[in-house]
Amino acid sequence: MNQLELLRKFTTIVADTSDIDSICKYKPEDATTNPSLILKAVNLNKNKKFLHQAVEYAKKKGGSKQEKLINATDKILVDLGIEILKYIPGYISSEVDARLSFNQDHCILKANKIIKMYEDQGVSRKRVLIKLAATWECIKAAEELKKDNIFCNLTLLFSFAQARACAESKIFLISPFVGRIYDWYVAQNLISNFSYNEDPGVISVRKIYNFYKKHNYKTIIMGASFRNIQQILLLSGCDRLTIAPILLKELESNNTVFDRKLIPPTTFVNPPMPLSEEEFRWAHNQDEMAVQKLSEGIRNFGKDQILLEEIISKLI
């Protein structure tokens, strides 16, 4: 049994890619996308049809050029999601424009639009997770969306405050970013005599896992953004792990046996009082790494959204 097969016994495997060939090869339960992955996908010749479909859709919808750009990018997001759903049994995570991350109402409107576009093409909302950055505004948007059976994946999660607020708002799923936390500590020269058990990204997810399970929160934890298979194996037993194809390949080619690392408790403790907005913002602000990485992640996803719009603008 290889490590990928063994990992499946403990954890639900999710593919962190928009590449259909990789999804077919590794057979994950779910798949996740983001603006960077969408941009990469549409630049491949085999996916040019999605660009042309989106442009035709936007032209038929009409409106200003900006409205056409928005409709076209939403169409690509949904059409790629529908294509991926043909090859997986579970969820596709489709990400809302990162530039909306500080506007609760706009996130709700965009999520409803995306879900309607899926449903208009025969895909149930039960198979779609709306992906939002884990800002206070997006957490509250996800809380509202859940009332209409629209479930969310809160991404770009770096601080314990973000994780706690998501659990307290009964968010469906969170994606703590292991690798990007690790990157920050390396860049700041804060890791010395490094061992994988001291990886700050791994430690962050372990802390979230233990807190969630101890208090019996139902929010799913999906570790994300891995730099090596050691980070993945140290989180074996996490509810879900979303893994890039290059690391799925490495796991598949390795037969070294490992033990499950994350095991839920058998008894529970009552949870603390929920964080207020003021308490959340202060607690998150105390984590310099989380503040920087959340801001950077939103900016970079926003840049890739703009690059996608520039490609479409030329076609329109």
Neighbours of 229 (CB within 10 A): 21
Q: How far apart are CA 25 and CA 47, in angstroms?
A: 18
Host H or E run for residue 113: helix 104-120
Instruction: Look up 131 and say whether it is catalytic.
Output: yes
CA-CA-CA-CA dihedral for 146, 147, 150, 155, to nearest 10: -20
CA-based angle 1:21:36, to the nearest 5? 110
Neighbours of 161 (CB within 10 A): 22
Q: How far apart are CA 74 and CA 58, in angstroms?
A: 9
| Catalytic option among 131, 140, 218, 261 | 131
CA distances to 73, 146, 236, 301 from 310, in Å: 10, 33, 40, 14
Residue 171: closest CA among 134, 125, 119, 123: 134
Q: CB-based contacts of 186: which residues, under 8 Å, 6+ apart?
A: none
The dihedral region occupied by 62, where left means phi > 0, alpha psi between -120 and 50, and beta the remainder, is left
Strand partners, 16: 32
Host H or E run for residue 201: helix 200-214
Q: Are 157 and 177 in contact (CB under 8 A)?
A: yes
Q: How far apart are CA 110 and CA 214, in angstroms?
A: 34
Which positions are catalytic?
131
